[in-house]
Structure 1
Amino acid sequence: MNRWLPILLSLAGALLLWAAWPTSPLTLLIFIAFIPLLRLTDLVPHRGKYFGCIFLTLFLWNVATTWWVGNTTVPLSGVAANLINTLLMSIPLLGYHRTRARVGQTAGYFALIVYWLTFEYIHLNWEFSWPWLSLGNAFAMHPSWIQWYEYTGVSGGTLWILLCNILIYHTWLQRKRYTVPLGTFLWKTGWQPAAAIVIPFLLSSLVQYTFKAPEGPAARVVIVQPNIDPYDKFAEENEQLQLDKLLALSAQKTDNTTTYIIWPETALFTHGVWEHKLSYESGTEQIRQFLRRYPQATLVSGATTLKRYDVMDEAPKMARSTEDGTLRYDAFNSAIQLDTSYAVQIYHKSRLVPGVEIIPYVRYLSFMKQLALDLGGITGGYGLTPGVELLENNRTHIKVLPAICYESVYGEFVAENVRRGANLLFVLTNDGWWGNTEGHRQHAQYARLRAIETRRWVARSANTGISCIIDPLGRVQQPLPYWKEGVIVGNVTPADTFTFYVRFGDLISKAAVVFCIIMILYSFYLKFRFSAPNS
């Protein structure tokens, strides 16, 4: 049994982490899901064997939870993504194993929290970014548990999970070591993990009870879910048919009270349109003619746009070139805002999907540019030149952040744009690439976290689902299921107040980074101090 125990613990850890993840109803298992990993650290002193055990746990968790990443025309992409993410996740646990052996159990627990939070923060902010499995995302289906995310963001949930796992495991160890009556044990020690779990629930109830909804005139939104197969939509002959469908669906619900019509990611100009000509494109004029029937309405839509650089020296290093080399340009995954005027606002997506929309750090390794995955439409990677920060409606004084797909997973990014003045959040996405898997369901749930962190209404338009409206408490309204054509109409109220998280950002993660740096420097100090020859 002792021989097989590490393997059994590895399997148990993977099973618990998978079972606790959205959209499973077994979320509470997350409070014990790390215990097998903590036990492995105590039982397996050999670093190589320990790495093998945690790698097995983390790899199985990644595969079971995000296997759908490979459910595309390039299945190998999913294998590569899961392997790379597993290796990166192993780093904080290896650091914990080393620190635990050197400084003892209590300091080791503190190190685990610091290392894991630091890992998640780095993984959120570099170009290999994949924050899908940040631990705090586990509570996305239960907004009533985490109303205090308006103070901490997702990192507060990560801290809660790690602390509860550590306290439960430590309490179990104490019970094994000291044979005292159960009542005495619970009175002296057992209350600690119970308090760690219960207190945040109570705080969440208090925050929700005292929450005041945004006041003022509401904006009426029409959200379109056209349900167009993403693998067919980029065929050139389908572009006009898709525009006609979007306009026809919009006409079903649009009236003179409509403030915004919202279309999903890459709904327009799938093969790209030059930004300097956008206002005069035939498709743009067709939309403008439609909007003249509803002069109070503004359209926000995903689009593929192209920006030319007339001065070669102004072009970014990784800009594209025409075949004859006479023109430099960039392609962008964009959101555009149109009304009855000839003014067009263009927002460029800035949080790009590694391997599909961007090859990480390709500016230093330009030969890797050809590795960008081809899932249809514009390939070779998107540009990162900024467009407008927010889409502004001067008539209604509304400023919209049109978070495009992957951007809605980034809490601090969304908070930063709310700090700049965004009073409504729109999510434009096309999740159909991965089929009817957990991918689109998890993505929709994560948008609820952005609503809580910023206390903004969210209107979500997804090409194949799930489209919905989310209120500032994270509650979903009128969800349109996957692979169903439809239109949603609802009211959303712009807000101008800032939460603590919006004002100050992710303080928990930044504090963890500082502690991590101090601990690393101190370990180097000790190493050199005790290895230096005696004078």
Structure 2
Amino acid sequence: MKRWLPILLSLAGALLLWAAWPTAPFTFLIFIAFIPLLRLADIVPHGGRFYGCIFLALFFWNLATTWWVGNTTVPASGLAANLINTLVMSVPLMGYHRSRTRLGRTAGYFALIVYWLTFEFVHLNWEFSWPWLSLGNVFAMHPSWVQWYEYTGVSGGTLWVLLANIMIYETWRQRKQYAVPFSTFLWKTAWKPAALIIIPLLLSSLIQYSFKVPAGPTAKVVIVQPNIDPYDKFAEENEQAQLDKLLSLSAKETDSTTKYIVWPETALFTRGVWEHKLAYENETERIRQFLRSHPQATLISGATTLKRYDVVDEAPVLSRSAEDGNLRYDVFNSAIQLDTSYAVQIYHKAKLVPGVELIPYARYMSFMKSLALDMGGISGGYGLTPGVALLEDVHTHIKVLPTICYESVYGEYVAEHVRRGANLLFIITNDGWWGDTEGHRQHAQYARLRAIETRRWVARSANTGISCVVDPMGRLQQPLPYWKEGVISATVTPGDTFTFYVRFGDLISKAAIVCCLMIILYSYYLKFTRKLKLTNGN
């Protein structure tokens, strides 16, 4: 039994983490899901064996929770993504094991918290970014538990999870080590982890009870879910039929009071359109004619756009080259804003999916450009030259952040744009690449966290679902089922106040980075002084 115990603990940890994750109904298990991994550190002193055990646990958690990333034309890409994420995710746990061995149990627990928070922050900001499994995301289905995210963001949830696991494990360990009457155990020790879990829940209830949805001028939003097969939509012969469908669906709910019509990611110009010609394309004119019947309405839609660089030497390093070599250009996953005028605003997606839309650090390894994975992206990747930061209505001064797909998982990115003046959050996405799996359901739930962090209304248009509206308290409204076309009409209120999180950003992660650096420096200091003592002793 002792021989197999580490493996059983690894599998138990993976099972608990998977069972707690959205959209499973057992979220409360997250408060004990790390306990098997903490136990592993106690019974497996050898670093190599410990690494093997945690790799097993993290890999099966990744695989069970995000296996759907491989539900594409290249299934091996999903396995590769899960393996890479497991490798990266194991770093903070290995750091914990090392710090615990060198600095003791209490310092080791502190190191685990700051290492994991630092890892999540780095994983949000480098080009291998994959924040899907940031621990704070686990509460997405329960916005009533985490209304205090308006102060901490998702990293507050990560801190809560780690502290709860450590305190519950330590309580169990002490109970096992010191035999005392159960009543004594309860009032002296067991109340501490219970309070750690209950107090944030009570605080969230208090915030929810006292919170008032912002009042003020409202805007009617029409959200379209066209339900077009993503593997067919990029065929040139289908473009006009798709536009017909989008206009027909929009007409069902658009009236003289409609302010915004929202279409999903890459709904327009699936084969690409030159940005300097976009205002004069036939498709644009057809949309403009439709909007003339509803002159108060503005369309925001996903599109594939191309930008040419007239001065070749000024083109980005990873921009594309025309066959004759005389033209450099970029392809963008964009959101465009159209109205009855000839003014067009273009937003470029900034957070690109590694391997699908971006080859990480390809500027240092240009040969990697040809290895882009066929997971719904395009060979060579998308460009990163910025477009407009926000889509603004010059008449009403409403500013919209049109997060494109994966961007909506980045809390601090969204908060930064709210700080720049975004009154409304739109999410335009095409989650149909992965079929009817947990991917689109998890993605829809994460939108609730962005609403709480910023206290903004969210309108979500997904090609195949789930399209919905989310109020500033994170409550889901009018969700359209997956793989069903439909239209949502909703009234939203543009916000103009800033939450603590919007004003100051992710302070918890930044503090963790400072502490992480201090622990590393202190570890090297101890290593140096011990070596010095040994040298002097000899």
- The alignment's TM-score, normalised by the length of structure 2, stands at 0.99
Between the aligned partners of 2:124 and 2:244, the Cα distance in structure 1 is: 38
Between the aligned partners of 1:188 and 1:40, the Cα distance in structure 2 is: 26
> Bigger CA drift: 522-531 or 78-87?
522-531
Secondary structure in structure 2 of the residue aligned to 1:301 = strand
Counting aligned pairs with the same residue, the percent is 80
Superposed CA offset, 1:28-65 (max 9, x none) = 00000000000000000011111111011000000000
Runs of 5+ unmatched residues, structure 2: none
Secondary structure in structure 2 of the residue aligned to 1:259 = strand
**Quick check: 1:140–1:445 contact (8 Å CA) kept in 2?**
yes
The answer for the alignment partner of 1:534 in structure 2 is 536
Between the aligned partners of 2:125 and 2:156, the Cα distance in structure 1 is: 17
The answer for the alignment partner of 1:356 in structure 2 is 356
Cα distance change on mapping 1:130 and 1:375 into 2, 3 Å: closer
* Post-superposition offset of 1:254: 0.5
**Quick check: 1:233–1:270 contact (8 Å CA) kept in 2?**
yes
Amino acid in structure 1 at the alignment position of 2:284: T
* Post-superposition offset of 1:530: 1.6
The answer for the alignment partner of 1:87 in structure 2 is 87
- Say yes or no: does 1:121 pair with 2:118: no
Between the aligned partners of 1:229 and 1:210, the Cα distance in structure 2 is: 44
Question: What aligned pairs does 1:162-201 form with structure 2 within 5 A after superposition?
Answer: 162-201=162-201
Show structure 1 runs of 4+ deviating over 6 A: none
Superposed CA offset, 1:141-170 (max 9, x none) = 000000000000000000000000000000
**Quick check: 2:356–2:377 contact (8 Å CA) kept in 1?**
no
Superposed CA offset, 1:468-510 (max 9, x none) = 0000000000000100000000001000000000000000000
* Post-superposition offset of 1:375: 4.1
- Say yes or no: does 1:138 pair with 2:163: no
Between the aligned partners of 1:441 and 1:261, the Cα distance in structure 2 is: 23
Superposed CA offset, 1:57-76 (max 9, x none) = 00000000000000000101
The answer for the alignment partner of 2:345 in structure 1 is 345
**Quick check: 2:301–2:428 contact (8 Å CA) kept in 1?**
yes
Tell me how many residue pairs correspond in the alignment.
535
* Post-superposition offset of 1:3: 1.2
* Post-superposition offset of 1:211: 1.2
* Post-superposition offset of 1:378: 4.0
**Quick check: 1:331–1:378 contact (8 Å CA) kept in 2?**
no
* Post-superposition offset of 1:534: 2.2
Between the aligned partners of 1:23 and 1:523, the Cα distance in structure 2 is: 40
Between the aligned partners of 1:483 and 1:213, the Cα distance in structure 2 is: 32
Amino acid in structure 1 at the alignment position of 2:120: E
Amino acid in structure 1 at the alignment position of 2:227: N
Between the aligned partners of 2:271 and 2:451, the Cα distance in structure 1 is: 32
Question: What aligned pairs does 1:336-415 form with structure 2 within 5 A after superposition?
Answer: 336-375=336-375, 378-415=378-415
The answer for the alignment partner of 1:472 in structure 2 is 472
Superposed CA offset, 1:94-113 (max 9, x none) = 01011111111111111100
Question: What aligned pairs does 1:431-446 form with structure 2 within 5 A after superposition?
Answer: 431-446=431-446
* Post-superposition offset of 1:364: 0.6
The answer for the alignment partner of 2:299 in structure 1 is 299
- Tell me the C-alpha RMSD between the 2 structures: 0.8
Superposed CA offset, 1:427-481 (max 9, x none) = 0000000000000000000000000000000000000000000000000000001
Between the aligned partners of 1:116 and 1:309, the Cα distance in structure 2 is: 42
Amino acid in structure 2 at the alignment position of 1:170: E
Between the aligned partners of 1:214 and 1:347, the Cα distance in structure 2 is: 27
**Quick check: 2:357–2:378 contact (8 Å CA) kept in 1?**
no
Secondary structure in structure 2 of the residue aligned to 1:216 = coil
**Quick check: 1:270–1:377 contact (8 Å CA) kept in 2?**
no
The answer for the alignment partner of 1:312 in structure 2 is 312
- Say yes or no: does 1:281 pair with 2:281: yes
- Say yes or no: does 1:235 pair with 2:264: no
Between the aligned partners of 1:282 and 1:369, the Cα distance in structure 2 is: 33
* Post-superposition offset of 1:379: 2.8
Between the aligned partners of 2:524 and 2:12, the Cα distance in structure 1 is: 35
**Quick check: 1:37–1:54 contact (8 Å CA) kept in 2?**
yes
The answer for the alignment partner of 2:334 in structure 1 is 334
Runs of 5+ unmatched residues, structure 1: none
Amino acid in structure 1 at the alignment position of 2:171: T
Between the aligned partners of 1:246 and 1:292, the Cα distance in structure 2 is: 16
* Post-superposition offset of 1:348: 0.2
The answer for the alignment partner of 2:522 in structure 1 is 522
**Quick check: 1:427–1:461 contact (8 Å CA) kept in 2?**
yes
Amino acid in structure 2 at the alignment position of 1:122: V
**Quick check: 2:58–2:90 contact (8 Å CA) kept in 1?**
yes
